[in-house]
C-alpha cells in the first residue's frame, strides 16, 4: 500500500517567517495602513494571501486590502530577485524526506504559497523532484478549506485513510480534519502545540526524528 505524506511549507519544511514579516510590513507601510505587530503576522502564516491580509486588517476597505496584497507580492518578488529571501530548512527535514521516499512514501506539499514561491523555495534546497503532488494558493481556496488536500489525494491516487497531513498551524489541522485525513502537528512552527491538538492533531512532533516515528505508528 502506498502512503502519502503531505507537508505544509512555511513553518513545517522551512522557516519563512522573517521573509513573510518583512514583506507584510513593507506592504502595509507602502499602502499607508498601520503595520501589524510581528506576533499577529505569525498567527496568519499559512493562510492564502488575501485571507491573511483580511485577518490582519478586517476593518480596511476591500480596495485597500487589495492594494496591500499587490504590495506584498511586489515586495516578496523583489526580495527574492535580490537574493534577500531566507527560508532555511528545519533541522532533519531533508534527511527525513529522503528516508520517507526510500520507504515508498509518496510526498506532497499543500501550502498558502504561490506556485512561483513554492517552486523557488524547493529549488533552493534541491527538493524539486521529491514531491508527487504540489498544491498551492494559486489553484485552491485558502486553508482550512479541504480542496488543496483533496486535490493532493486525487493526484497521488491515495485514499484519505492512507494519507497524513503534517503542519504547524491550526489551519493545517482543520483542513486535514475536513478532508478525513490524519493530522500530525509540529511544534517548531508558528502555532502552539496545544492549539494544534485542539484543532485536531492526532499527535505533535517536537523534532524530525519524532515525526518519523509518528508517521510509522
Q: List the catalytic residues.
A: 8, 10
| Phi and psi at residue 3, to the nearest 5° | -115, 150
Dist. CA 120–CA 99, nearest whole Å: 23
Length of the chain: 217
| Residue among 10, 77, 35, 175 at smallest CA distance from 163 | 175
Give the strand order in the sheet containing 3-7.
133-135, 105-110, 3-7, 163-167, 182-186, 203-205
Asked if residues 11 and 112 have their Cβ atoms less than 8 Å apart, the reply is no
Dist. CA 164–CA 160, nearest whole Å: 8
Dist. CA 97–CA 27, nearest whole Å: 34
Amino acid at each position: 500500500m502506498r502512503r502519502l505524506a503531505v507537508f505544509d511549507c512555511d513553518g513545517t519544511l522551512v522557516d519563512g517567517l522573517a521573509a513573510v514579516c518583512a514583506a507584510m510590513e513593507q506592504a502595509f507601510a507602502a499602502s499607508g495602513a498601520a503595520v501589524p505587530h510581528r506576533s499577529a503576522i505569525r498567527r496568519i502564516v499559512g493562510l492564502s494571501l488575501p485571507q491573511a491580509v483580511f485577518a490582519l486588517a478586517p476593518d480596511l476597505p476591500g480596495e485597500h486590502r487589495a492594494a496591500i496584497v499587490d504590495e506584498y507580492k511586489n515586495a516578496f518578488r523583489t526580495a527574492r530577485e535580490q537574493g534577500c529571501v531566507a527560508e532555511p530548512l528545519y533541522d532533519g527535514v531533508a534527511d527525513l524526506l529522503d528516508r520517507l521516499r526510500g520507504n515508498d512514501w509518496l510526498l506532497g506539499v499543500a501550502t498558502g504559497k504561490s506556485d512561483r514561491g513554492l517552486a523557488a523555495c524547493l529549488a533552493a534546497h534541491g527538493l524539486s523532484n521529491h514531491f508527487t503532488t504540489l498544491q498551492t494558493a494559486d489553484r485552491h481556496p485558502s486553508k482550512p478549506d479541504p480542496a488543496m488536500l483533496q486535490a493532493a489525494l486525487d493526484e497521488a491516487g491515495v485514499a484519505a485513510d492512507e494519507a497524513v497531513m503534517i503542519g504547524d498551524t491550526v489551519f493545517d489541522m482543520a483542513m486535514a480534519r475536513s478532508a478525513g485525513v490524519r493530522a500530525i502537528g509540529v511544534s517548531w512552527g508558528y502555532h502552539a502545540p496545544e492549539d494544534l491538538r485542539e484543532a485536531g492533531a492526532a499527535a505533535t512532533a517536537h523534532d524530525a526524528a519524532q515525526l518519523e516515528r509518528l508517521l510509522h505508528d
